Amino acid sequence: MNYLVTRENWGGDTGFAVRLLEHVGYSALAVFLALLVAAPVGIAIGHSRRGANTVLSIAGALRALPALGLLTWLAISLPRGATLPLIPATIVLVVLAIAPLLAGFVAGFDSVSRQVVHSARAAGYSEAQILTRVELPLAAPVIIGGLRSCVVQVIATATVVSFIGLGGLGRYLIDGLAVQDYPRMVAGALLVTALALVTDLTLAGVQRFLAPRSH
């Protein structure tokens, strides 16, 4: 704990503050890109109710991918360049983020009663109105639950990007292990845990806020 509360360790280019911002940056980029892919696919499948089982199977398979192994393979296989470390790291995190997001969208739409949808359609709602005024508001709490799972998984997994030379909180684990500096490793692990916990609690609050509104 002394390493974590020492003021000098929070400043400078390699201090906790900079590494924390780097970690948040990698995670936010991955979640944003994953949303660009998962949201339209999940909404299309959820609204049509077709192919849901296939998507959930694929999502389950993506969760089982070994992040470090995939990261190493991409780092070796992709063409080298100035931004090379960021490219394979982002690909790995996006692949891992898509799985819980897709599952969240599909499960969210599946939680909406078909009778409600049929009633809206019988009342003259267009498909776009059913999607935006009925299904998405009712599915929002479950979708946010998928986002919670996605963000926590990405934050925890983003530590491995330090293995190929990037920054983030994983640097304390990699660099600490190299010199057997265990206090540094513990400090890094505690910060990753705290970041994931705070983010999860924040999204849990958003989920609770949306639940009564959707009902």
Q: Where are the domains of the chain?
A: 7-209
Mean pLDDT of the region 8-29: 86
Q: What are phi and psi of 167, to 5 degrees?
A: -90, -140
- Tens digits of residue pLDDT in 184-211: 888 889 999 999 999 999 999 988 887 7
H helices present in 49-181, as ranges = 52-63, 67-77, 86-110, 114-122, 127-129, 136-157, 170-178
For residue 147, pLDDT over 50 is answered with yes
Q: Which two tokens stand for residue 202?
A: 């924040």
CA 87 to chain centre: 17
**What was the pLDDT predicted at 144?**
92
Return the CATH number of the domain spanning residue range 7-209. Answer: 1.10.3720.10
Closest CA to 109 of 76, 134, 72, 80: 134
As a whole number of angstroms, the distance between CA 44 and CA 118 comes to 17
Q: At what angle do helices 67-77 and 86-110 cross, to 10 degrees?
A: 130
- Tens digits of residue pLDDT in 47-85: 887 877 887 788 778 777 888 888 888 888 877 654 577
pLDDT bracket for residue 215 (50, 70, 90): low
As a whole number of angstroms, the distance between CA 105 and CA 108 comes to 5
